[in-house]
């Protein structure tokens, strides 16, 4: 149907189609040469033609009808493509060469891995209890053994081994304020992320045992911007400095708290060190991949810096961040590079958060490379994958939708549709576009997807046996308890033995 409509269009559309075909073919040829895509999986010229025509249709005068019809037809198709075995090329995918030649155009294997880690970061939002009237505000709604199952992420082949809690000694913005109720589970700490490890099947597919760490970001970036425009604090012993607020959240602890007698830094490093030692003693190859969105991306970089100091040099460490701000100065960047940490920053052109701090004085001023005394200059780290809201026919591109531009689901949608900086949004993108509107209003009205639709049914209230609407009690397994307390010896090693043998 789409082909018939397109062939009857004007010569302008045909010219546009031919240009897109050439660009698409160039992308595929480059990808095939880069990581040797099997011939059986290379698209033929008919596929190129159909995809190019659909891209033209998305920008035709009858866009509303075509877009809705095309979206409805995709509703009966799977949301995921089969994942390829990357065991022979995982080091390239993991950034051993700083992702050269596989970012633009974006290799499909790398795209799937970026989406996987992005979903790990998204889980920290989807499972977080935001309700200020909840006794458990600031905690995770599910225990670690249920997390991926509840969020539909079991398919990724990882198991959560540890939850991470954080606090801060700085004045906190609203997103870290405590619950309004008196009997809250904790008045000082928040669930900020988790550690997970690949299972046997996923380990075989990706070629190594992968330890993944996911850090949660902010609810609304405008709530913390002013709070984190502060001084740079020293880290390490060579002159590296990082933003004061980020470091405070990563390292703060207090003996008067239950969940932060040890800092987020102590908790995560204890778990990473334990897992690396456990699998290396079994003779396995191990990697550490750290991810996060917004503030979570900043914490991921601090975590990678510390991990590089404390784990053996032969363990590859990569960071995949989304919409992350700058974290430290030039020396911090240089130290990360010297220690072999590989960083891939996924950014959206319309999102302003990744430009902060250092909106004016930053790495763009080449003169700062020689003036090392300017230790206060903020600098980005690593390779960049830059996305544009305007490339997707599904997204509203105008206005100042700051929360929508910064939303992690917007990022994942754009990654799923990205081929290269010179080609349109890909039509074979699988990820459900409805996810974009989870916490914002970014989808075009033609798709008829409600804004901010992701919430508990009836906002968490249930009707009891007497017909009264009440807040339900949590499942005992999902209540934060001493099993999550970092001071209590956890059962990670026993749990991993069970995982390995299963």
- Planar angle of CA 101, 417, 451, nearest 5 degrees: 145
Closest CA to 49 of 20, 78, 84, 81: 20
Number of other CB atoms surrounding residue 21 within 10 Å: 17
Residue 103 to residue 81: CA distance in whole angstroms: 19
Q: Are 120 and 164 in contact (CB under 8 A)?
A: no
For residues 181 and 168, give the distance between their C-alpha atoms in angstroms, rounded to a whole number.
20
- Measured in Å, how far apart are the chain's first and last C-alpha atoms? 49
Q: How far apart, in whole angstroms, are the C-alpha atoms of residue 28 and residue 77?
A: 23
- Annotated active-site residue 294? The verdict is yes
> Per DSSP, which regions of 267-316 are E strands?
286-293
Secondary structure element (H or E) that encloses residue 385, with its range = strand 383-387
For the beta sheet containing 209-215, the strands, ordered from the edge strand earlier in sequence to the opposite edge, are 158-166, 190-198, 209-215, 286-293, 317-322, 342-348, 383-387
Paired tokens of 447: 């798709």
Across the strands, what pairs with 320? 291, 344
Task: Give phi and psi for 480, each to the nearest 5.
Answer: -55, 135
Angle (nearest 5°) at CA 94 between 93 and 97: 80
Q: Annotated catalytic residue: which of 186, 294, 321, 392?
A: 294
Structure tokens at 340: 């072999």
Q: Using an 8 Å Cβ cutoff, are 102 and 35 in contact?
A: yes
Q: Tell how many helices (H) and how many strands (E) occur in the chain.
A: 15, 11
Q: Find residue 233's DSSP bridge partners.
A: 242
Alpha-carbon separation of residue 350 from 93, 380, 447 (angstroms): 27, 17, 22
- 189 and 259 in contact (C-beta within 8 Å)? yes
Is 406 catalytic? The answer is: yes
Q: Token pair for residue 408?
A: 């992690």
Catalytic residue among 406, 416, 484, 485: 406
Tokens 């033209």 locate to: 56
| Phi, psi for 401 (deg, rounded to 5) | -85, 75
- Distance in angstroms (rounded) separating the CA atoms of residues 251 and 86: 36
**Residues 159/148, Cβ–Cβ less than 8 Å:** yes
With contact defined as beta carbons under 8 Å apart, do 341 and 354 qualify? no
Which are the catalytic amino acids?
Answer: 294, 351, 406
């Amino acid at each position: 149907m789409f082909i018939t409509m397109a062939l009857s269009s004007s010569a302008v559309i045909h010219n546009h189609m031919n240009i897109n075909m050439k660009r698409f073919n160039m992308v595929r040829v480059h990808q095939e040469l880069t990581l040797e895509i099997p011939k059986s999986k290379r698209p033929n010229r008919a596929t190129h033609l159909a995809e190019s025509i659909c891209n033209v249709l998305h920008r035709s005068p009858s866009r509303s009808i075509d877009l809705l019809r095309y979206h409805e037809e995709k509703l009966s198709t799977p949301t995921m493509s089969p994942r390829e075995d990357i065991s022979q090329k995982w080091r390239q995918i993991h950034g051993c060469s700083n992702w050269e030649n596989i970012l633009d155009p974006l290799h499909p294997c790398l795209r799937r891995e970026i989406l996987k880690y992005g979903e790990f970061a998204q889980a920290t939002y989807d499972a977080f209890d935001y309700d200020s009237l909840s006794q458990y505000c600031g905690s995770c709604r599910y225990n670690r053994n249920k997390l991926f199952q509840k969020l539909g992420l079991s398919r990724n082949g990882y198991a959560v081994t540890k939850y991470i809690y954080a606090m801060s000694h700085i004045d906190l913005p609203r997103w870290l304020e405590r619950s309004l109720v008196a009997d809250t589970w904790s008045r000082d700490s928040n669930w900020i992320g988790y550690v997970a490890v690949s299972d046997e099947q996923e380990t075989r597919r990706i070629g190594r045992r992968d330890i993944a760490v996911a850090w949660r970001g902010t609810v609304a970036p405008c709530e913390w911007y002013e709070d984190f425009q502060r001084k740079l604090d020293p880290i390490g012993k060579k002159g590296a400095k990082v933003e004061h607020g980020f470091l405070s959240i990563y390292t703060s602890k207090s003996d008067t708290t239950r969940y932060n007698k040890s800092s987020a830094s102590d908790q995560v490093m204890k778990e990473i060190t334990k897992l690396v030692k456990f699998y290396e003693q079994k003779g396995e190859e191990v990697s550490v991949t750290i991810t996060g969105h917004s503030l979570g991306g900043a914490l991921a970089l601090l975590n990678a810096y510390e991990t590089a100091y404390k784990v053996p040099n032969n363990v590859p460490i990569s960071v995949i961040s989304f919409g992350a701000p700058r974290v430290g100065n030039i020396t911090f960047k240089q130290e990360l590079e010297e220690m072999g940490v590989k960083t891939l920053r996924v950014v959206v052109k319309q999102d302003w958060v990744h430009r902060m701090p250092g909106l004016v004085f930053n790495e763009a001023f080449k003169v700062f490379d020689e003036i090392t005394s300017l230790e206060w200059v903020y600098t980005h780290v690593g390779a960049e994958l830059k996305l544009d809201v305007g490339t997707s026919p599904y997204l509203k591109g105008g206005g100042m939708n700051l929360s929508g531009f910064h939303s992690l689901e917007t990022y994942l949608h754009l990654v799923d549709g990205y081929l290269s900086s010179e080609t349109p949004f890909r039509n074979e993108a699988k990820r459900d576009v409805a996810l974009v509107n989870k916490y914002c209003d970014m989808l075009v009205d033609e798709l008829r997807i409600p804004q901010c639709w992701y919430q508990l049914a009836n906002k968490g209230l249930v009707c009891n046996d007497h017909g009264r609407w009440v807040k339900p009690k949590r499942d005992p397994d999902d209540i934060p308890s001493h099993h999550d307390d970092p001071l209590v010896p956890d059962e990670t090693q026993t749990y991993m033995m069970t995982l390995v043998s299963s």
